[in-house]
Structure 1
């Protein structure tokens, strides 16, 4: 790199939950770092999410008397992925995310454990959220904490170059600035905490054919650049078929509707008036099931008590404000709203009863009562769960399994813990990988920067 290039001990590409967690822990260790953010205001996938973080044995969870363990959490992750999730990352992330939540609380971020229902695949209540229950609020709290800790963020800095020497050691990066100029920064450690490929239509078409017709509910910055860099560096890729879908993307409004309604007794019915899957298996695989229905749509059908519960979730409140919720006083009105046969719809709802098996594997708690409410939804792709292969310390691995000297990855840039299929996504796996992975990556970077370590500022080539 040019001799005059400014030097930072650790550069972090991406300032979502993963990058911010990395920065906060680095500053706790006294390590200087800079976050490189492509947007004018950091947002990414985290800001578009519900902001729910699964974690076991946090101080908060223990204080509420919830019996849980890291082993139980890990078992739930593995079970949801049908054994496909990378064992070393499952163990590492389920341990690390608890440490991260406790540390963030110590830094002033207030969390609560969501009450009232269980998310698909979780055996106990372990979903942590800030009081606002939104990813946007979580991001704001983490940005504030990182800034107060002394982490610097360079916005509108789109990384386009990674410089390496002949020994595959990262020397620094080049960022494109708003005026088109290239700003270069040298570093001792580079952490890729950036993106997956959900916003890259060509990659989605190639690797996730089931999502070709899906709406994209993620951030446009998920363009697959981390994967492209990894390929150029000779890094190994893993679990590229893993992703988080969602079967409750409100259409045409383009908003998320909470799956809590479904878990607590709501149902999904297609345009012909029929149910088509066991909705409690998970909202990720529901995306594929909904897209397989006529017109690629379904209706979320529920009743008054569920409506009252739903209004506690900001995403539902916004969808209702947008006019997504239709009311029907009778099954006749509901059938007219959905455009289906009254007889077919009646037969479908007749199967929804307390302790009554429905033929699809689901047992309901109670019968739905008029008035009914319906929301038209489709399947959406939120973010991918595959990427650069990493070890348990978040070091990026070469094709032969050896780690690259000073390149780390976590969050959307790396493989997650959902295996290689849509059904492997356990609720919250995205933020589990982002926050757990960011915590681990920071520890690895700090360990690499020992007092005897001399910054490598030698010239290298752009790859």
Structure 2
């Protein structure tokens, strides 16, 4: 896995590399002419709009790039010591339909199919107009990342998708995750250019949105720098504010307990920073909300056999099942189509599998006021490991998350599974005419001459589909649908895109697409007065 550190001091002026993804731009004399997919440095004009962006993940940095491209100035407020957030942990990939990598591999796809899959996964709760924006700008988002030198040639068909469209880097000798690669690339550009238009405040928490007492317009952020003593409190004034703080999957005593108390004690794949700060900031000034009770359990949080009740889980990406991994219960039997949507697979694990029975697990769970995890066995063979990336598998083995066995008997002896049932399951998988769980095809077949690999997995809090109410341009709305002037939001802090269940690969895409839109809107003083943009029904080849 790629580990990076930005080394940001508490208050650092940095410049931003601008990706110009439209046709050749006519740039002011203070800027450098550059090709449509290249970079240039742009000095902000003294009278330029100042935009405060709360959150330093992919949505926030994408918005920042767009603001500066439009000659604005940016202050990024990040409560952690470094940029990246949960975006840096994303591992399955980023979705796109009708993309250049798909075309190169002969994969037939369309934005219409992509929209159908997203709406079906959302179970009637998606805002169709937001989904239109997401899918129609997806190919442009892939193009934009590739123009930065990011490899997206490895495409998988993850759960709930009717076509292979989840893009990530090809397997290499170095263990990487695609979210880390993307964030590392953006952060490198932030820190490699001369100081110009961006200020980054790390270790700084946003406390309150500032409003004009007469108009209600959001005009800045009150924030606290440092140790929380209050001595570092300051007001950062702005022409517009963008909320990009992510979700609330680690806010156990707050939003989770209030809206979905039944899952608040489950393990989470999120970092401790995922406490819904942006949602709370917006709600405090009258912003509307959507689907705050809709929380996604990822079916495969990795269980460390040496620390099974740790409340924070490392994620076993959906790509592990997309390339051939199957799920077994304690009877040694499959119980679900592994490529169903995440909610279906997670619920099947909870219904057909048992709590982990390792020595001390149940007692420790009680002591920690959490649950002994209900676990399934994720089983792979050599072929699937090679397709996923052996370097990543070796990383998992080094961390203790994955075990390798020479034979079925060795695997069953280790996990106390019935050999006959496991042998029959592996032998029948993909070789019977009709899969018992409706899986259309088996990505790999299991053979006796291949090693086997297992991971213990458990459903874990992963993503919050609910959040602030927005329009198709990312403007934050009241519950009645009125625009809150000066306030924008993008990424997991918002609701409406994913409905009741998010498809794998749509999170990074949402950050890219809506991050760019809010950066564009927040830097345009006329955008707040315009009607909500109407999404195009056509695929947009330019990420514009």
Q: TM-score, normalised by structure 2?
A: 0.74
2:300 corresponds to 1:245: no
2:233 corresponds to 1:182: yes
2:124 corresponds to 1:124: no
Paired residues for 1:302-313 under 5 Å = 302-312=380-390
Residue 110 of structure 1 corresponds to 150
Paired residues for 1:127-276 under 5 Å = 127-129=166-168, 132-147=176-191, 148=193, 150-166=197-213, 167-179=215-227, 180=229, 181-202=232-253, 203-209=255-261, 211-252=263-304, 254-276=313-335
The Cα offsets for residues 81-111 of structure 1, whole Å up to 9 and x where unpaired, read as 23331111101122334334434544x3433
Seen in structure 2, the aligned counterparts of structure 1 residues 330 and 313 have a Cα distance that, compared at 3 Å, is closer
> 488, 491, 495: which is aligned to 1:408?
488
Seen in structure 2, the aligned counterparts of structure 1 residues 33 and 449 have a Cα distance that, compared at 3 Å, is farther
Alpha-carbon separation, structure 1, partners of 2:389 and 2:220:
48
Seen in structure 2, the aligned counterparts of structure 1 residues 150 and 121 have a Cα distance that, compared at 3 Å, is farther
Seen in structure 2, the aligned counterparts of structure 1 residues 396 and 361 have a Cα distance that, compared at 3 Å, is same
Q: Contact 2:121/2:341 (CA < 8 Å) preserved in 1? A: no
Cα shift at 1:347: 4.4
The Cα offsets for residues 167-221 of structure 1, whole Å up to 9 and x where unpaired, read as 2211211111115320211011110011211010123244335534532111212
SS at match of 2:431: coil
Alpha-carbon separation, structure 1, partners of 2:526 and 2:50:
8
Q: Contact 2:89/2:177 (CA < 8 Å) preserved in 1? A: no
Q: Contact 1:16/1:43 (CA < 8 Å) preserved in 2? A: yes
Q: Contact 2:141/2:509 (CA < 8 Å) preserved in 1? A: no
SS at match of 1:194: coil
RMSD of the TM alignment (CA)?
2.7
SS at match of 2:495: coil
Seen in structure 2, the aligned counterparts of structure 1 residues 53 and 261 have a Cα distance that, compared at 3 Å, is closer
Alpha-carbon separation, structure 2, partners of 1:356 and 1:363:
10
- Comparing 219-228 with 241-250, greater Cα deviation is found at 241-250
Q: Which runs of 5+ in 2 are unaligned?
A: 1-47, 171-175, 306-312, 356-373, 530-544
Q: Contact 1:89/1:391 (CA < 8 Å) preserved in 2? A: yes
Q: Which runs of 5+ in 1 are unaligned?
A: 1-6, 453-463
Cα shift at 1:349: 3.5
Seen in structure 2, the aligned counterparts of structure 1 residues 361 and 57 have a Cα distance that, compared at 3 Å, is closer
Alpha-carbon separation, structure 2, partners of 1:59 and 1:374:
34
Alpha-carbon separation, structure 2, partners of 1:22 and 1:255:
28
2:469 corresponds to 1:361: no
Q: Contact 1:356/1:364 (CA < 8 Å) preserved in 2? A: no
SS at match of 1:413: coil
The Cα offsets for residues 106-136 of structure 1, whole Å up to 9 and x where unpaired, read as 4x34332324x42223333433345644322
Q: How many residues align?
A: 439
Alpha-carbon separation, structure 2, partners of 1:195 and 1:260:
23
Alpha-carbon separation, structure 1, partners of 2:493 and 2:197:
25
Q: Contact 2:475/2:488 (CA < 8 Å) preserved in 1? A: yes
Cα shift at 1:362: 2.4
Q: Contact 1:74/1:91 (CA < 8 Å) preserved in 2? A: yes
SS at match of 2:242: strand
Alpha-carbon separation, structure 2, partners of 1:229 and 1:110:
34
The Cα offsets for residues 299-354 of structure 1, whole Å up to 9 and x where unpaired, read as 1122222232233463x332122233333344333322222333443444454232
Q: TM-score, normalised by structure 1?
A: 0.86
2:397 corresponds to 1:320: yes
2:123 corresponds to 1:72: no
More helix by share: 1
Cα shift at 1:29: 1.3
Residue 515 of structure 2 corresponds to 438
Alpha-carbon separation, structure 1, partners of 2:464 and 2:506:
11
Seen in structure 2, the aligned counterparts of structure 1 residues 344 and 208 have a Cα distance that, compared at 3 Å, is farther
